[in-house]
Structure 1
């Protein structure tokens, strides 16, 4: 097989595949039915034309027959007047009219035969069209039922084109949702760890840690209060309570020491800055 033959074969196969997918059997059946009805209309028009032609010949035949009678009268009147020559001419015309009538009768008989054939073919075509219409409606009903059943089956199994698109859309939505949830969780974690500063807040990471420390001390103080209110446990755990209070006080002292050290460092930085300004002014 040559290159052109192979290309032609491939093109025809592709076109045939596209036509098979695009073809709707119900539309094809309707189109065929309309074509058959058009053929029937053509037969009816042809039959009507033939009958009209036959009627015209019959009218002409009747006129010729009237002329034949007229020529007979002319011939008799001519003989009564001893005009044999006129009688001969009238009879000659009569004979010509009779020949024309004979030809017309042959034509009329032929047209009648053709009319009978057309009427029979028309009757057969009508019966054929009626059978096809019944079969067409039956096939359309079967096709539509099969198509509906196929759509339901595809929807139930999820193998149809539309269901496949829906499945892919759901997968993409799930992937994007998972990514957004993971990103939100990561941002929350980094914010809690102080990696991202809140641009709308005056607090920094140190302030948040100090605030967390104060919250912890308040919680510990409330716990100590609850322990003190519980009389049954106070007697058995008096030493532990006093130790816990001492630890809390020592934590407070350490916090105060740390804050005083920070204040001292800040004061030294201010003095150094002032000394630098004096040197620059001299």
Structure 2
């Protein structure tokens, strides 16, 4: 929870500095509470967005892998029909989808790390 710790430290230091300079500490404390609430809302929104991104990427990975399986089946069918040219093209498409899935896996890992911060 690195982001929460950093936010807490920043807010804590700002509160102490402002209280030292404050003419009306009560107003200042209320202002800081509002600021902390706004920060919390922003953090929650970012977290929700990150989780939605993770789900979207997972669905896209599933779709791309299904397409790769379909192209593999088409390659097998082409081989059975004696059409090596079509089988090669199908395998090229399968490879393209597998590579896309691998790239999406990397994106998913990045999204996971952002959410856990």
- Bin for the TM-score computed over the shorter chain: 0.7 to 0.9
Tell me what 2:99 maps to: 99
Q: Deviations over 1:181-234 (max 9, x none)?
A: xxxxxxxxxxxxxxxxxxxxxxxxxxxxxxxxxxxxxxxxxxxxxxxxxxxxxx
Alpha-carbon separation, structure 2, partners of 1:34 and 1:80: 69
Size of the alignment, in residue pairs? 97
TM-score, normalising length: structure 2: 0.78
Q: Give the RMSD, CA atoms, in angstroms.
A: 1.5
Tell me what 1:77 maps to: 77
Q: Which stretches of structure 1, 4 residues or more, deviate above 3 A after TM superposition?
A: none
Q: Deviations over 1:160-199 (max 9, x none)?
A: xxxxxxxxxxxxxxxxxxxxxxxxxxxxxxxxxxxxxxxx
Alpha-carbon separation, structure 1, partners of 2:69 and 2:112: 26
Tell me what 2:4 maps to: none
Alpha-carbon separation, structure 2, partners of 1:62 and 1:48: 21
**Higher relative contact order, structure no. (Cα contacts within 8 Å, ≥ 6 residues apart):** 2
Structure 2: runs of 5 or more not aligned: 1-20
Tell me what 2:35 maps to: 35
Tell me what 1:68 maps to: 68
Alpha-carbon separation, structure 2, partners of 1:87 and 1:30: 70
Tell me what 1:44 maps to: 44
Tell me what 1:109 maps to: 109
Tell me what 2:10 maps to: none
Cα deviation, residue 24, structure 1: 2.7
Alpha-carbon separation, structure 1, partners of 2:114 and 2:42: 15
Tell me what 2:90 maps to: 90
Cα deviation, residue 113, structure 1: 0.8
Alpha-carbon separation, structure 1, partners of 2:45 and 2:62: 26
Query: Equivalences for 1:165-204 in 2 at 5 Å?
Result: none
Give the secondary structure class of the aligned counterpart of 2:86. Answer: helix
Q: Deviations over 1:245-269 (max 9, x none)?
A: xxxxxxxxxxxxxxxxxxxxxxxxx
Query: Equivalences for 1:141-152 in 2 at 5 Å?
Result: none
TM-score, normalising length: structure 1: 0.33
Tell me what 1:207 maps to: none
Cα deviation, residue 57, structure 1: 1.2
Alpha-carbon separation, structure 1, partners of 2:38 and 2:81: 65
Alpha-carbon separation, structure 1, partners of 2:92 and 2:73: 13
